[in-house]
Structure 1
Amino acid sequence: MRVEPPPGGEPVSIDLRGAQGISVGDHTVQKNTFWIALPPAVRRLLIVVLAGVLVVGSGFVAVRWIVPMFAPIYKTTFLIDAAEGDLASVTNALTTVVGNSGEHDSQSLRSFGGDCGSEDNTTQLVGFGTGNRQEIAEAARSVRQGSKATLQRGIVEAVGDFTTPMSLKAKQVNRIIVVTRHGKDACDPDDEFVQAQIRDRVAAAGLTIEFRFIGYQVLDDGERLKELTTQLKSQEPTFTNSPEELKRVLTWFATIEPVLRSSQSVVNVLNPTVDKLNSASEALKNGRFDLADNALAEARDAVVDIEIKDLDGRTSSAEAVRLRDLAVRLRTLQASVIEAADALLTSARSGRNLAEPLAVYTKAADGYNAVAREMTDALTSLRAQGPGGTR
């Protein structure tokens, strides 16, 4: 125990470890430390429990925050028909196309075709992963011919592949690209049952999964394939007859459509913010600082980093390179527009003449709008090359 001295005096310490919690004097400070003696077994158990809490806590942080950082932008399953027909053209097209897919895509390969009721009438040949393009190409070349077109079970199991334990959800798009030579399921003629099975599995997955159907030399009933796409609320199937046409359409869905989508997203995100800044710059002349503040806040929150990262991994064609470069320019120019708008707002608040900052802002906005028009024209041209497009 430490006894506080009177003014000018020396401090005094008294050992009261044998005391019973009584303090005497007007200037005393008493500290009591209590020790609880625990058996060794109990101490070990407490250490294990505390270590477990730390592990669970760090695991939660990893699952909740760290692991999603490595999630792919796209997850794509290629589902191919291995039943009777020209299987070689399907695998040749896939082998060529998959090599040009996005570097950040997580892809898998599944085939269908076999005996009704058999466990192996659909098989996942390659699981989801990035950088597995060569593995998918090799697996495609090794696909064996099946007997019956088990289309329904192939789709149901392909949906289930997206929900395996510890499976990372795509940041943007989950999709299944189906290449089939049959418009109906050979084992279950009940179309409504088939469609309900697929819808139920998609709903149970808790994901938005897009379907792209390519019919290749479909002879049995293309209308039933159209009905299936209607029930799945997906695009109508694209029917092809020649190996060259099949390769072109598969290339569109696998490699070009993602470029179109990410590029369009950049335009859709950035253009409205510049439009609002243009309106706010006019409002500043009337002292409407609030409109400018809101427009600037929205512009700063407009982020297209994921879309541009996706485009960075899709530079296998001249169109993709051009659109990536335009997207980067748009992002840079939008930042210049924000900077000019901020300077204009500062000048307006200080009561200075707005002629010079307004001219700087107008030049920045005009530069942005010119590139935005160039990108819109490029997107229109590319879109016309797709299935059903008009040149």
Structure 2
Amino acid sequence: MDEIRLSVNAANELSPTASDAIQKAHGELEEPAENPTKYAVHLGNAKGVIVGDNARQWNTFWELPKSVRRLLIVLLVAVLVVGSGFVVVRWVVPLFAPIYKTTFLIDAAEGDLASVVGALSTVVGNSGEHDSQSLRSFGGDCGSDDNTTQLVGFGTGNRQEIADAARSVRQGTKATLQRGIVEAVSDFTAPLSLEARQVNRIIVVTRHGKDACDPDDEFVQTQIRDRVAAAGLTIEFRFIGYQVDDNDDDRLTKLAAQLKTQEPTFTKSPEALKRALAWFTTIEPVLRSSQSVVNVLNPTVDKLNSATEALKNGRFDLADTAMAEARDAVVDIEIKDLDGRTSSADAVRLRDMAVRLRTLQAAVIEAADALLGSARSGRNLTEPLAVYTKAADAYNAEARNMTDALTSLRAQGPGGTQ
């Protein structure tokens, strides 16, 4: 035992240099040094670091040339830019697309231009707030670059600009109808132009049924039809013939037929012109969006009614399918369009009816959910079925009211019968 103690003492009496080396080797420098950097180890250029007694770690480094590193950074940034650009174009930009895009194409050739300008200036102020609109005129010398001119480009909130531009239109010479329509179609495909979410249309107000620069009606109709097809868009036309010579009525009618749109509306007086223009500008979109609400919601409620009968026979699969279709019946775009068309009492009334119809359909779905839950659990269906029937009856009654209102308003339009 004494020899062991002597050995330990001998070890403790090692020189300070040797003792420090042993302590350093065993990592016993736990006391913080007065100078924190005195024992710092810099591993900036290290190729490997050993941690612990038995652990091993290998670090492999590739030194890339500076030019290559720069190229990689540029490529990475390019990928990020292209990717974010795709997201913007694919999902973000369409959110800002207008519901309607409308071009007013007016005839500036010889005739009563003042009445056309007056009607447009009055009517355009009552158009939809969310509509993207533009103004183009036609009339001038054959072959001239300025025989049709876009006076106001597409945009929302430009109703006053269109009215002011219409009042500045100067009388032209010849009715360059063909070129006016062709260039109006091209306006829809201009760079960075957003396609309408629902309707692209051109409202043509003309005092001439034929093109003054090309007597071949068939050629003119084919040229316009082909240009519309080449645009790759569905563009609707509304033709208003104002004081058109009786011999030219058929030409305008044939052009409308070539374009597969409704027949032209012919008017003789400034008052009739204003009514026709107001109809296409303000009332027709209201009818269209309102009818879309009915067309979307009614079939789903009819299917839910059929599903209630299937529940009695345990056909939960049919009920589930009907429920899914009912929940997918979204009419938010149509309601938004109607919200921006409150310039007339008819528009307000139909908007309110559409909102009520959507609310009543939500009540029908809620009652159907409760009915389906009761059926799955095997509970008595008498009470939930009564609740569902009441909700469905309320919806159907409002749907009939709206259908009647649409029928009545439609009868007041061009070609309608009271």
Is it true that 1:171 corresponds to 2:190 in the alignment? no
**Which of 264, 279, 282 pairs up with 2:291?**
264
- Aligned partner letter, 1:141: R
Higher mean displacement: 57-66 or 261-270? 57-66
- Structure 1: distance between partners of 2:64 and 2:276: 76
Partner of 1:306: 333
Alpha-carbon spacing, 1:17–1:168, altered in 2? closer, same or farther (3 Å): closer
Partner of 1:3: none
**Could you list the runs of 5+ residues in structure 1 that have no partner in the other structure?**
1-9
Shift of 1:232: 0.5
- Aligned partner letter, 1:154: G
**Which of 215, 221, 224 pairs up with 2:248?**
221
**Matched positions, count:** 379
Partner of 1:162: 188
Partner of 1:147: 173
Is it true that 1:82 corresponds to 2:108 in the alignment? yes
Please state whether the residue corresponding to 2:417 is helix, strand or coil: coil
Task: Indicate conservation of the 8 Å contact 2:47/2:58, yes or no.
Answer: no
- Aligned partner letter, 1:56: V
Alpha-carbon spacing, 1:118–1:351, altered in 2? closer, same or farther (3 Å): same
Is it true that 1:284 corresponds to 2:314 in the alignment? no
Shift of 1:16: 11
Is it true that 1:64 corresponds to 2:90 in the alignment? yes
- Structure 1: distance between partners of 2:293 and 2:380: 34
- Structure 1: distance between partners of 2:64 and 2:270: 81
- Structure 1: distance between partners of 2:187 and 2:46: 71
Partner of 1:6: none
Is it true that 1:358 corresponds to 2:385 in the alignment? yes
**Could you list the runs of 5+ residues in structure 2 that have no partner in the other structure?**
1-25, 29-41
Partner of 1:5: none
Higher mean displacement: 65-74 or 280-289? 280-289
- Structure 2: distance between partners of 1:83 and 1:136: 19
Shift of 1:34: 1.0
- Aligned partner letter, 2:117: T
Partner of 1:336: 363
Is it true that 1:194 corresponds to 2:220 in the alignment? yes
- Aligned partner letter, 1:274: V
Partner of 1:98: 124
Shift of 1:31: 3.0
Task: Indicate conservation of the 8 Å contact 2:47/2:59, yes or no.
Answer: no
Instruction: Output one character per residue of 1:221-243: Cα deviation in whole Å (capped at 9) or x when no partner.
Output: 11000110111101110000000
Shift of 1:135: 0.3
Higher mean displacement: 50-59 or 117-126? 50-59
- Aligned partner letter, 2:133: Q
Task: Indicate conservation of the 8 Å contact 2:100/2:199, yes or no.
Answer: yes
- Structure 2: distance between partners of 1:93 and 1:81: 13
Partner of 1:111: 137
Shift of 1:203: 1.1
Q: Which has more radius of gyration?
A: 2
- Aligned partner letter, 1:240: T
Aligned-CA RMSD value? 2.2
Runs of 4+ in 1 over 6 A off after TM superposition: 15-21
- Structure 2: distance between partners of 1:218 and 1:114: 18
- Structure 1: distance between partners of 2:156 and 2:44: 67
Task: Indicate conservation of the 8 Å contact 2:209/2:244, yes or no.
Answer: yes
Partner of 1:34: 61
Shift of 1:47: 2.5
Shift of 1:32: 1.6
- Structure 1: distance between partners of 2:47 and 2:134: 74
- Aligned partner letter, 1:116: C
Instruction: Output one character per residue of 1:310-364: Cα deviation in whole Å (capped at 9) or x when no partner.
Output: 0000000000000000000000000000000010000001000000000100110
**Which of 66, 69, 76 pairs up with 1:50?**
76
Shift of 1:19: 10
- Structure 2: distance between partners of 1:128 and 1:70: 13
- Aligned partner letter, 1:55: V
Shift of 1:180: 0.2
- Aligned partner letter, 1:92: G
Shift of 1:385: 0.5
TM-score, structure 1 as length reference = 0.93
- Structure 1: distance between partners of 2:177 and 2:105: 9
Is it true that 1:234 corresponds to 2:248 in the alignment? no
Partner of 1:7: none
- Structure 1: distance between partners of 2:27 and 2:157: 73
Shift of 1:201: 1.0
Partner of 2:99: 73
Alpha-carbon spacing, 1:375–1:32, altered in 2? closer, same or farther (3 Å): same
Is it true that 1:209 corresponds to 2:235 in the alignment? yes
- Structure 2: distance between partners of 1:191 and 1:369: 50
Alpha-carbon spacing, 1:68–1:18, altered in 2? closer, same or farther (3 Å): closer
- Aligned partner letter, 1:128: F
Please state whether the residue corresponding to 1:263 is helix, strand or coil: helix
- Structure 2: distance between partners of 1:11 and 1:276: 79
Shift of 1:55: 1.7
- Aligned partner letter, 1:47: I
- Structure 1: distance between partners of 2:145 and 2:360: 56
Instruction: Output one character per residue of 1:57-93: Cα deviation in whole Å (capped at 9) or x when no partner.
Output: 2111111110110000000000000000000000000
Please state whether the residue corresponding to 1:244 is helix, strand or coil: helix
Task: Indicate conservation of the 8 Å contact 2:140/2:175, yes or no.
Answer: yes
